[in-house]
Every structure is written in C-alpha cells, then in structure tokens.
Structure 1
Amino acid sequence: MDYRRFGKTNLLYSVFSLGTMRCLASEAIAVETIHQAIALGITHVETATGYGKSEEFVGVARRSGLADSKVADGEAADHLREPRSLYLTTKIPPTPDADAMERSIDQSLQRLGVDALDSLGIHGLNTWEHLAWVTANDGCMRAVDRAIADGRVRHVGFSTHGFLELILAAIDTDLFEFVNLHYSLFFGRNEPAIARASAKDMGIFIISPADKAGMLHTPPQTLIDLCQPYSPLQLNYRFLLSDPRITTLSVGAANPQELHELEALLTVFCNAGGQALTPEESGAIERLKTHQANVLQSDLCRQCYACLPCPEEIHIPEVLRLRNLAVGYQMQAFGEYRYRMFENAGHWFPGTKANRCSDCGDCLPRCPHALDIPALLRDTHERLKGSAGRRLWQD
C-alpha cells in the first residue's frame, strides 16, 4: 500500500480508503470487512450518519483493537511504506440549524465510540441552498467551529455530487481542508475542481471510482477489449493515482470478499501507483477516446455544458454522457442504472428524464457542435429507460 498526505490536514492516508455505505449486512460482516481492509494497509475508514448502522459498526470494529494496531503481522509490514494508524471520517448533512449540527456531531461521536473525529465532512453539499446554510453566520458551521475549538473535530471538509460551479464556490469559501467528489476516466468534468482544491492544499478524495465511475467491476466486453492489457478498473485506478493531486480513492466493499480484487491489484499499485502513466497506459486511454469518437461521430457530446439551463430541467450533458458510454463502449447496464436515478434521487442526482423534452429548441443555438439535442434526448430515453415494470431506482 502507498500513502499520501491528505492536503493541509497533514494526515497520512492510504491511497485506497474504505467507504462503508455498503457495509450494512450485519455487524459481524462489517467488522470483518474493516479488519480485512486494515490488513491490506488501509488507514482511512469513511462513514456517514446517513449510512444506516454504519457508524455503530465502525465503532464496534474500532473497539476491537484496530485503532491500536500499527502492523497486522510481519508479512504485512513488508508491504508498508509508513507506520499505520486508523483514521475515521464521518459525514453529516448540511443544515441551517447550528444546534441540530451540534447534536449530530455528538451523536456520531457516541456511535463511533470516540472523543474526537479525525475528519468531519459536510455530506452532500449539492445545492446553492446548502452552500448558503454553510456560509451563514448562524448556520451549521458555527457548531463545527465550536467542535474544532473544543477538540471534538480535528479537520473539516465536504462531499459533493453538485455541479462544478457549486464545487468551485464551496472550495473558494476557504472553510474546508478536503473535498470528496466524483472524477474518473469516464467523467472529467470536475478536473477544474481538482486543480482549485490542489492549489489550496486540500485533501482530495475520489468517490466511487469503481461503481459510479462505470460499474467497472463488471465491464462489458467492448470495454474490456479496448483497455487491454489492463482491466477497465485497473486503468481507471492508474489514471487517478498517476495524478499526484489526488490523495485517496474510495473502495465501497460490502464484505471482505469484495476486497480480494483490490488485494490482487496492490502489487501493481505499490510499484506504479504514484508514477506517471506509462506509454502503454496512455495508449489504452487514447484508444478509448478514439473508439468512442469513431462510433458516435457527429452525435458525440463533448460535455461543454453550454446547453444548460434547460426549461424542462433535463440535465442534458449527463443524459448525453450516459448515451456516449452506452453507444461508444456498450456500457448499457451502467447507463440504465444511472438513468433510472433521474427524478428519483433528489439533489443527489438532479434532473428530469429525457422524455420531458418539449422541443422548445432553447439548447440548439447554444451547442457549439450543432447536435440535434432533442433527437438525442429521445434516443437516450428509449435506450436507457429499461423494461416496463422494473423498479425505478435503487442505489
């Protein structure tokens, strides 16, 4: 395992972090999963108040002695670059009520069984209203500041699924030491936020670089073939960890068995995780881009976002990004999975479905590539709406 400084927090994080949103089957499975992650050299465990009983399960795991274990055994020590400690992050949603935030912090401390949080993340800073709550003099950050002053919280950051402009504005408040955000080989929109956060010496945590980056654990054959001799997941991990600005990637294992693939990759990443992409890796990435452009031709959406806003509140760039992936790489299952979230996930995945298009034509003159956006929206809806009778959304 390799380790990197988490920005101005100065905490030394493993380049893979255990996210516990899916560690909910039982207390025993969650504790065993955390034990396995620690054995692999993971030093950072992330949870949230919204992750069911995750905080309680992490607390049980911590009390089992993990926090005091620097090295699991002699064999593990051979793979460590630095001595190991266990750092805990929990996340709490933004609120305009400082007293509510105060109570939430104390409840999280109690569930985790700790006197202080290594890091607290404002969870889901996704809208301009959320940002207003954070920046208000009497908002939730007043309680966070008190918790920092009295030692209950050591570092504060935010997680976001919001638009780039909002993320940049949140970074520019200078209230935060780290940011959790989406970014991958298949979603580059947030690169300016990576650059801005790095310039401010913030820790950078990449959310779900396997599942929400493209269901890369179960890729289609077309994607497998294009990424050869690498797996799509391995290529995405290398793309991310070759960037020295990025500190750590989330691994959302539901059980110890799901960490086995990471264990198999660690030999590769211990030797090359922090190095620049090799010519072969860069060639595979260019091959992906060229193939997608050749397949989509004049229908390729280049993700400039000039088409927004849409009067029908369709998130046009994201709809067409899913089409890019489904048509260009045969990532149909991923496209359906994400498309189902429109109108079903609130501020976590904003936008209406593409069949809401009224053919008003507002977007057409704004597209620098003259895409027939209404036609592409209708096509995407037909491709990704899924079969009748299936559940609209589950995540």
Structure 2
Amino acid sequence: MKYRRFGKTNLRLSVFSLGTMRYLASEENAWQTIHKAIVLGINHLETARGYGKSEQYLGEAISVGLPVKRCQVHITTKIPPTADADTMRRYIDESLERLKLDYLDCLGIHGLNTWEHLDWVKAKGGCMQAVQEAIADGRVRHVGFSTHAPLEIILAAIDTDLFEFVNLHYYYFFQRNAEAIQKAFEKDMGVFIISPADKGGRLYTPPQTLKDLCDPLSPLELNYRFLLNDSRITTLSVGPANPDELTEPLRVADCDHKLTPEEITVFQRLENHQKTVLGTDKCSQCYACLPCPENINIPEVLRLRNLAVAYDMDDFGQYRYRMFENAGHWFGGMKASRCTECGDCLPRCPQELDIPALLQDTHSRLNGSSGRRLWG
C-alpha cells in the first residue's frame, strides 16, 4: 500500500480509503470489512451521517478494538450543510457519539451541491461557525467538503479557502472536473476521488466490448491506474459490501507509477474506438449547449449515450440516467424526454450536433424504472 500527503492537512493517507456506505449487511460484516481493510494497509476510514447505520457500526468496531492504535487510523465522517450553526453543532455531537470518538480526523461538509449550500457555508453564523468551534476545541482536526455539484460550484467552494480537502467525481470516463483537481492542487488541498469503481462506470461488471478494448488490463484496473498515476490525487474510495470485495482493488495499491507504454496504448485504443463508432454524433463535452430551458443536463445525458454506443456501457448508462428527476441535488437535471425541440442549444454547439434527436435516442436507450441513491 502506498501513502500520500493529504494536502495541507499533512495527514498521510493510504491511496485507497475505505468507504462505508455498502458494508451494512450486519454489524459483524462491517467489523470484518474494517478489520481486513486495516490489515491490508488502509489507514483512512470514511463514513457519513446519512449512511444508515454506518457510523454506528464503525463506532462499535472502534470500541471492540482495531488492529492498530487509534492514532494510526484516520477517520472521516461527513455531515450535510446546514443553514444554522446550532443544527451543525448537534450533528457533530451526534456523529461523535455514534462513532464513540473524542475527535474526528476529518469532517466533510457532505453534498455541497447547490449555490444555496455554498451560501450557508459562507454565511456569518452558518454551519461553518459550529465547525470552527469544533476545530478550536479539538473535536475536529480538519475540514473539507464532498460534492456532486456542477463544476462552477465546486470551483467557487474551493475559492472560499475554508476547506483543506475535497471529495469529488473524476475518472477516465468523466474528466469534467479536471479544472477542480488542478485548482485544489494549487491550493494544497487533499483530493479524494468518490466511488471510482461504481460512478466511474460500474467497472466491476464491465461489458464484453469494454473488456476486449482494455485487454490485457481490466477496465477497473485501467481506471485505477489513470487515477493513481496522477500525483495531485491523494486517495480513491473503495466501497466493499463485504471483506472479499477488497481484494481486486487493492491489487494495484502499490502501482502509483506513471502510465506504461502498454497502458497508454490501451487508452489510445479506447479513444480511437469511440471516435470511430460515434462518428459525427460524438458529444465532445464542451458544455456550450447549456443552459437548457427545460433544465436537461444535456452534456451528461450525451456522455451516457457516448459510453453506451461506443462501449456497450448500457447498464451503467441506465443506472445513471434513471437518477435524473429522482435524486434531487445529488444528480440534478431533467430526463431527455422533457426536450421541447425549442432549438436554443443548436446554434451553441460547435459540432453542429442534432441535439434534440440525440436526446430522444438516449431516452429510448436508457430510460426504465426510476433509480435512487443507495442511501437516499
């Protein structure tokens, strides 16, 4: 296991962090998963107030006894932004009680996803007042934020200079937040990548087309290598449902070197295949088509289409597409079926894509029963 400095927190975190959203089958399963992760070298455990009984299970594991001293493991919990300090004070106290801890190594403002959330954070007497009090009395050591927001909000949150780290989405198949990665790095913030196996493309169950294109690597391994070779990134979340699911990700826990010629060849093969298959229908993800009068997240819809058409990633596309209109601020935007063919987006597209037709095609391919967040 390799370890990296988590920005200005100066904590040295394992390049994989244990995310605890999925180990909730039982208290025993949670303990076994935590124990194995630590034995394998993971020293950062991340939970959240909103993850069902996750904090409670982690607290029980701590009280039973971890295989290392408390000072050798770093614990983060995440709490949603609040409009007032009193609510945040109560939430911090409740999390510490459930975790059976005197202090948190890191507290993340969880789901800083909207401009309103950012206003709450910046407001005098808002939630950050309570966080700063907890830092002053030693109950919290470091503060950051997690986000599923549009890039503009992420950049604005980083620019507040209130935070020491950021948890965000960034993968080979989703590089929209590259500018946020760079800005965080320039401000010496720790960078934590959320769910690279799942949100990165459901890469633990890849389609055969994608497996063939990535050969001799697996799609999951290739995505991990894309991230681990980037020295600006500190740690990647791994969220096993049980101890056995730690095995495959941690095979690359020591592979943080630069991309090999073989890996570069695979990435070039993926790019060339996408260009060939999509042809003139490929959305370049420039975001010039926004805003949409019907609040359709056109670039994200067309990104999912790109992946489905080029790599047969229909399962992932359906999983994400069905979140539209069902996940609130965690995955904003309306479904493509809301398109009225008003034409506002057409003159803004530098590729002159027939966006309404592509939206209709995406909806036909990917719509189905509604999805929801795992812990929502």
Distance (whole Å) between structure 1 residues aligned to residue 357 and residue 323 of structure 2 = 21
From the superposition, tell whether residues 394 and 6 of structure 1 become closer, same or farther in structure 2 (CA, over 3 Å): closer
Q: Quick check: 1:14 aligned with 2:14?
A: yes
**Whole-Å Cα distance in 1 between the matches of residues 190 and 267 of structure 2?**
26
Partner of 1:202: 189
Normalised by the length of structure 1, the TM-score is 0.93
Aligned-partner Cα distance in 1 for 2:332–2:285: 17
The residue aligned with 2:298 is 316
Alpha-carbon distance between aligned partners in 1 of 2:173 and 2:208, rounded to the nearest angstrom: 16
The letter of the residue matching 1:190 is: N
Give distance in 2, aligned partners of 1:287 and 1:392.
Answer: 32
Q: Superposed, which structure 2 residues align to 1:214-253 within 5 Å?
A: 214-253=201-240
Name the CA shift for 1:186/1:176 in 2 (closer, same or farther; >3 Å): same
Aligned partners of 1:258 and 1:179: how far apart in 2? 25
How far is the alpha carbon of 1:392 from its aligned partner? 4.2
1:1-395 alignment to 2 at 5 Å? Answer: 1-66=1-66, 68-69=68-69, 85-263=72-250, 265-266=251-252, 269-270=253-254, 272-273=255-256, 275-386=257-368, 390-393=369-372, 395=374
How far apart, in 1, do the equivalents of 2:370 and 2:330 lie?
Answer: 18
Contact 2:196 2:236 in 1 (8 A): yes
- Asked if the contact 1:92–1:123 (Cα under 8 Å) also holds between the matched residues in 2, the reply is yes
Query: 1:11-51 CA deviation, whole Å, 9 max, x = no partner?
Result: 01000000001111111111110001011100000000000
Distance 1:207 1:394, change over 3 A: closer
Q: Distance in 2 between matches of 1:97 and 1:206?
A: 28
Provide the residue aligned with 1:81 in structure 2.
none
C-alpha contact (below 8 Å) 2:294/2:334 kept by paired residues: yes
Give the Cα–Cα distance (whole angstroms) in 2 for the partners of residues 61 and 121 of structure 1.
Answer: 21
CA distance in 1, matches of 2:290, 2:22: 34
Provide Cα deviations, 1:208-261, integer angstroms capped at 9, x if missing partner: 000111000000011001111100000000000000000000001111121121
Q: Distance in 2 between matches of 1:69 and 1:140?
A: 31
Q: What is the percentage of aligned positions where both structures have the same residue?
A: 69
Structure 1: which 5+ residue stretches go unaligned?
71-83
Kept in 1: contact 2:102–2:139 (CA 8 A): yes
1:62: Cα distance to partner? 1.4
CA RMSD after TM alignment? 1.2
Q: Distance in 2 between matches of 1:38 and 1:88?
A: 12
Distance, in Å, in 2 between the alignment partners of 1:391 and 1:217 is 22
How has the CA–CA distance of structure 1 residues 392 and 234 changed in structure 2, closer, same or farther, with 3 Å as cutoff?
A: closer
Counterparts of 1:368 and 1:346, CA distance in 2: 30
Residues 168 and 109 of structure 1, relative CA distance in 2, 3 Å threshold: same
Q: Secondary structure at the match of 2:140?
A: coil
User: What letter corresponds to residue 206 of structure 1 in structure 2?
Assistant: I
8 Å CA contact retained: 1:67, 1:85:
no
- Cα drift, residue 67 of structure 1: 6.5
Q: Which residue in 2 is equivalent to 1:73?
A: none
The one-letter amino acid paired with 2:10 is: N
Which amino acid in structure 1 is aligned with residue 194 of structure 2? I
Consecutive unaligned residues in structure 2, runs of 5 or more: none
- Cα shift at 1:171: 0.2
Q: Deviations over 1:126-153 (max 9, x none)?
A: 0000000000011100000100111110
| Residue type at the aligned position of 1:114 | L
Following superposition, which runs of at least 4 residues in structure 1 exceed 2 angstroms of deviation?
67-70, 390-395
- Between the aligned partners of 2:201 and 2:178, the Cα distance in structure 1 is 17
CA contact (8 A) 1:22 1:254 kept: yes
Task: Work out the CA distance in 1 between the residues paired with 2:265 and 2:64.
Answer: 46
Report the secondary structure of 2:104's partner residue.
Answer: coil
Kept in 1: contact 2:55–2:95 (CA 8 A) = yes
Check conservation: 1:296, 1:327, Cα contact below 8 A. Answer: yes
Query: Once the 2 structures are TM-superposed, how far is the Cα of residue 393 of structure 1 from its aligned partner?
Result: 3.7
